[in-house]
Every structure is written in structure tokens, then in C-alpha cells.
Amino acid sequence: MSDEEIHRGLADVTVTETRLSDIDGEAGQLWIAGYPVAELAANATYPETVFLLLYDRLPDADELDTFEDRLCSYRTLPEPCYNAVVEAAERGAGPMAALRMGAATATAVEPNDPEADALRLIARLPTITATYWRVLQGEEPIDPRLDLSHAANYLYMLTGEEPTEAQVAGLETYLTAVVDHGLNASTFTARTIVSTESELVSAITGAIGALRGDLHGGAPDLVLEMLEDLADTEDVRAELAGRLEAGERLMGFGHRVYGARDPRAAVLEDAAAAFYEGEADFFATAKEIESIATDLLAEHRPDLDLETNVEFYTAVLLHGVGIPPELFTPTFAISRVAGWSAHCLEQLEDNRLIRPRSSFVGDHDRQWTPLEKR
């Protein structure tokens, strides 16, 4: 056995340099390509944010038009991808399984080009998700509309109705706020795969697989379930206290890297406040539940910083915008695919195979026993 220190889960191990995002967990701060997440989410469209991540600068008006046109041109699914998504829906596959299957075939008939593949995947994940959802509901898929923005088109393909400005603004803010977040599990997975010089689509497919896990992608749909349950509860504090005493986890609180409130929660809270203005009952209830929950968590686990995380107001905002709860995590992937892709391209700029070591704790002195003597 080696005497070297083991960093389980690669905790606190720095393995690369990046210009894409930076986190100060203790202060509760996040920068995307140098911009505070609140400033970027309040001002940038999602395509502007994608351009920023890929090219390390904001586009001018002509560049943005050209870039958006290129993204639009990739929205339609190639036949192998469309067939895989429809088959997944007809077989009743879960939404993340269907997204993974669609992503794996999203560039099947096109030549391998990492930058072009990044744009194809960014453009096509909304189409994959909406196509799957429509077929799963027994409805005809809806073709993408090239005259709608990235966010508006996704909402349109889900319902067949052109979304309101408020819906588009809410979703746009969400997509920008969660676009990248350091070297998390799915991003590290993507960089590891592309470091082998595999195709970018393989890296993104692997990232989706990592995001599917409960410990990473989380469960904002369970936050919504909790909020809806508590909305009909007479004594919210007693109900939450009872759950904590029973050892249950309160969904939407606590984060691996933050010792303070998740800065994305603040961004999405502001977006939800704007969205629900005029009919704020659900938002007000969520705010009250958040306040009670954070107080109880501080009392119950004073040794931990269990502040509000991004999942809490993801549930509040996406519910208002009209995203079905089953699609909360795929919608997260629809945003994060830009971060994954940018990390892959960054990895390829000065690539080195990612190959950590392990510490062997087994026995070196075993002797073979023939089958007849076992």
C-alpha cells in the first residue's frame, strides 16, 4: 500500500487550467468567462453566452446574427438521430436515457469536426428533447422554427404554441445562468473522453450519462414535488422539522462547492420574481418555504452550510415557464451542452491524456489454484 495521500473523488485536486468559469465557494460567487453570473444572466442571450464560451469574447451585432443563423441551420435532426429518439419514446425510455441516445446519433451522418459538432449538439439537444416528449405523449413531433430564438423555439416545439415574452425571458435567464460551473462530474467526464481524441459527440454523450446520476444532475423535479406538497400543509415548519428528524433530505439545499448561498439561486430567484409578478402566490409560497427550511437546517445541522442551491429556484422558474417536471434535467443539459463543448474544445487546444493514478490496496502474493482444487 502506498503512503501517498488519497483524494477520494478527486476532491480539491487541480488537474487543468480553464478560462471558462471560476467559483469562489466560500463567498458564493461564480464567474462565467470573466463575467459575474448575475451580470451575464441579466444581459446576455443564450447564443451570446455560447459565443462567449467558444470564442472568449462577446460578438458584435453582425457576428451574433451570423452565429444564430448557423445554430438555426443545425436544429433539424438527421434521420438516424430522429429515429433513435422516436424509438426511445415509443419504448418508454426515461428522458435522460432518450437524450443520451439522441445525442449519440446527433452527428452520425456528418464529418467529424469538433467546432461544428459543438454547434450541432447545442442546436439539436432542444429538438431531441421536444421530439421525445411529443412522441411520449402520443403527439406528433413539431418541426423547429428558424424564425424563433433558441429558447423560444424549444418552448414552441414542446407545445406547438408560440411562447410569451415572459416565458422566453425566464428560460433565457435559466439557460445562461447554468451554462457552465467549473470542473463538475459531467464536465470532467467530457474532458476525459475528448482527451483520448475521441469524437466530441462521444464526450457529450458521456457527460449526459454523468448528469443522469442523482448525485450530480440532482432532482429539481423533486423540489417542485416538495413545494406542491407543502403548499397544502397547514404547518410547514412542523412538516419540515418532521422530515429532518426522520433523516430525510430537504431538496434544493446544500451544494458540494458552496459554503454560502448558490449565486445561481439568486439569479433564478430574481427571474422567477419577474416571471410571477402579478400572480405571485406560488412564488411567495416558495419564498416562505425557503426561509423556514434554511432556518431549520441551520438548527438541525449547524456543522454544515446548507444554503439554497440552484435546484430550488430552477423548479420554481421552470414550472412557471411551462417545462414539464420530467424535463427539468434534460433542460439543464440543453444549457450545459455549451459548457461541455467549450471545455472539450479547450482541452483539445493543448491536449494531454487524462490519466490519474490509483493506490493499490490488494495482495501481491496470491498463488493460482487450479479449477479442480477450488
Our answer to whether residue 311 is catalytic in this structure is: yes
273 vs 278: CA distance, rounded Å: 10
Percent helix, strand, coil in the chain, to 5, is: 60, 5, 40
What three-state secondary structure class fits 255? coil
Q: Which three cell numbers stand for residue 215?
A: 448525485
Q: Are 311 and 253 in contact (CB under 8 A)?
A: no
- Give the chain's count of helices (H) and strands (E): 16, 3
Which ranges of 74-162 does DSSP label H, i.e. alpha helix?
79-90, 95-104, 114-136, 150-159
How far, rounded to the nearest angstrom, does the alpha carbon of residue 204 sit from its chain's CA centroid? 12
Per-residue DSSP letter, 308: B
Distance CA 337, CA 329 (A): 12
Q: Quote the cell numbers at residue 373.
A: 482444487
In this structure, are strands 21-24 and 35-36 parallel, antiparallel, or unpaired?
Answer: unpaired
Catalytic residue among 150, 181, 255, 343: 255
> Residues near 209 by Cβ (< 8 Å), separated by ≥ 6?
100, 189
Q: Which cell numbers hold the place of 285? A: 409560497
Instruction: Give me the catalytic one of 311, 319, 343, 346.
Output: 311
Alpha-carbon dihedral sign for residues 224, 225, 228, 229: negative
In what helix (H) or strand (E) does residue 228 lie, and over which residues does it extend?
helix 220-231
Return the ∠ at Cα 93 (arms to 87 and 99), rounded to 5°: 80
The residues carrying an active-site annotation are: 255, 311
